[in-house]
Amino acid sequence: MPKKLKLCVNKVKKQGNDESSAYAICKASIKEKRMNFKEFVSISEDVEALTNINKDLSFDEFIDEVIVNSNYEKIRNQDTYVSLYTMNLGGIGSSTPMSEFTRKMAGFFNPLLLPDGSGKRPRPEETPEFAEKHNKAEYDELDAARRQAQRRRMRARIDKDNASQEQAQAEIDELDNRISNTEFQIARQKVYKQTEQYVEDLFNTPITRSDVDELKAKYSEQYADLEQAYNDMVQPA
């Protein structure tokens, strides 16, 4: 299983999904996105510009020049780049004034989790209303049968009973196919993909000055913390 797909499956499983359904969700929704050289250079140039920023710029001036008309996707990419570069120089756990600033900047401007971390990803597929509307009872019944078949396969493997193991595996494969075609699983995959698109669009939405002003007014403590991190970066002790 590809590493990216495996990470997705583990993440979805932690949300309460079994391995088979987690695999189906990830397989249906994951997009292979490899950063090409042009994108890498673009992020590198953004970080270089951050390194060479005019030290006389006030924090508000920095916001106007760098953040306004940018988007969260660029901000978090910069943070990732700076974090990797910092760890490459100083090892895991190391930090610099710049890495502290980009980390806090990525946290503050996250439109999904919000500056105080109170936000969360929308998960309509986990509601009782969704389960009732899309006949989750059918899914649960098949999933229970699959779990029993998985236990039989495990016992057969321990007993080195190849025939029983193959029979159990055949049952699992059939149940996996039936589960993937249930109304609930199809609807869950669809809404999961819609949510992924919503998050992608949200992360790529340009940040306006009014957005910053609203965040500053609502999350003044976090904004002040971010401003202090900026000052520490441009005016190191």
Q: Which of 30-34, 52-56, 98-102, 212-216 has the lowest average pLDDT?
A: 30-34
Establish if 19 belongs to a structural domain. no
Establish if 156 belongs to a structural domain. yes
Q: What is the pLDDT of residues 31-44, one digit of tens each?
A: 444 444 444 445 45
Our CA angle for 143, 145, 148, nearest 5°, is 110
Q: What is the pLDDT of residues 88-107, one digit of tens each?
A: 777 777 888 888 999 999 99
Establish if 168 belongs to a structural domain. yes
- Asked if 230 and 109 count as a contact pair (C-beta separation under 8 A), the reply is no
Establish if 76 belongs to a structural domain. yes
Q: Please give the Cα distance from 195 to 224 (Å, whole number).
A: 32
Q: Name the band, by pLDDT with cuts 50, 70 and 90, for residue 3.
A: low
pTM listed for this prediction: 0.71
Are 181 and 65 found together in one domain? Answer: no
The whole-number average pLDDT for the span 178-205 is 95
Are 173 and 104 found together in one domain? Answer: no
Are 64 and 131 found together in one domain? Answer: no
Are 149 and 104 found together in one domain? Answer: no
Are 188 and 137 found together in one domain? Answer: yes
Establish if 7 belongs to a structural domain. no
Q: Name the band, by pLDDT with cuts 50, 70 and 90, for residue 49.
A: low
Are 84 and 47 found together in one domain? Answer: yes
Angle between helices 183-203 and 162-180 (to 10 degrees): 60
Are 166 and 229 found together in one domain? Answer: no
Establish if 116 belongs to a structural domain. no
Are 93 and 143 found together in one domain? Answer: no
Number of domains within the chain? 2
pLDDT of residue 9: 66
- Asked if 52 and 234 count as a contact pair (C-beta separation under 8 A), the reply is no
Q: Name the band, by pLDDT with cuts 50, 70 and 90, for residue 82.
A: confident
Are 197 and 178 found together in one domain? Answer: yes
Are 103 and 218 found together in one domain? Answer: yes
Q: Please give the Cα distance from 71 to 204 (Å, whole number).
A: 5
Are 60 and 165 found together in one domain? Answer: no
Are 190 and 136 found together in one domain? Answer: yes
Answer positive or negative: Cα dihedral of 177, 179, 183, 187. Answer: negative
Establish if 44 belongs to a structural domain. yes
* Domain encompassing residue 195: 125-204
